[in-house]
Amino acid sequence: MLRFVLCGLMAAWGGPALADALGSLNAFVREARTGSAEFTQTVTSPDGAKRRSSSGTFEFSRPNRFRFSYTKPFEQLIVADGQRLWIFDPDLNQVVSRKQSTALAATPAALLAGAQLDRDFTLSNDATRDGIEWVKAVPKQGDGGFESLRIGFRNGELAGVEILDNLGQRSVLQFKAVRLNVALPADRMVFAVPKGADVIQQ
């Protein structure tokens, strides 16, 4: 579930400055065709006692294609090529492949993958805290593995993303070196199964 949460959050990257956070989110979905960034993710347990962090790079190309490359503390690669979602664990030399339309349905990743926001999510402007305006996104279906997603903007630029899953675990992503509408090589969104890797089709 966590990998889908992480993928989907990138749909929040900042659009032009508008009247509110929901307007900024809608502008991003409408106008950003490609993008890349570095990310850091922190996951906190429901009781707040345990925290773990990871980091890496992210790229997307609409419609329906993206690439997450985790580098720390462990390597993992997630690629959506428009048809299938590929998840590669180098330590296990194992690949999991799922039909993309099924894997991303009603999840935060559906935001990035080009889903109709009003169809899959109930969106609303949330409270403003510390100068950051927040959008709250609640899935209309309850099988996406998360309870709610909050996307924060400051002056139309992405300031933070928070996800609360169905078990009370909270994930926070921070981004830097964000670039939108940049040229990306087509093969960045293509996954080639490494030699000798075990492939699990789901």
The CB density around residue 100, as the number of other CB atoms within 10 Å, is 19
The pair of three-digit structure tokens given for residue 97, joined into one six-digit string: 């492949």
pLDDT band at 19 (very low <50, low <70, confident <90, very high): low
Three-class DSSP category at 79: strand
pLDDT in tens, 74-93: 999 999 998 999 999 999 99
Domain boundaries, the chain: 2-182
**Bridge partners for 128 per DSSP:** 133
For position 13, what pLDDT does the model report? 43
For position 60, what pLDDT does the model report? 86
Query: Is pLDDT of 189 > 80?
Result: yes
The pair of three-digit structure tokens given for residue 188, joined into one six-digit string: 């960045």
pLDDT in tens, 29-46: 788 888 888 888 899 999
For position 105, what pLDDT does the model report? 59
For the four alpha carbons of 202, 113, 182 and 137, in that order, the dihedral sign comes to negative
Query: Is pLDDT of 200 > 90?
Result: yes
pLDDT in tens, 104-161: 755 556 555 555 667 778 889 998 888 888 899 888 876 667 788 888 777 766 677 8
The pair of three-digit structure tokens given for residue 198, joined into one six-digit string: 């075990």
Query: Is pLDDT of 4 > 70?
Result: no
For position 185, what pLDDT does the model report? 92
pTM value is 0.79
For position 107, what pLDDT does the model report? 59
For position 71, what pLDDT does the model report? 95
E-only strand ranges, the chain: 34-44, 51-61, 65-72, 76-81, 84-89, 94-99, 121-129, 132-139, 146-154, 157-165, 170-180, 198-201
Name the percent of the chain lying above pLDDT 70: 80
CATH number of the 2-182 domain: 2.50.20.10
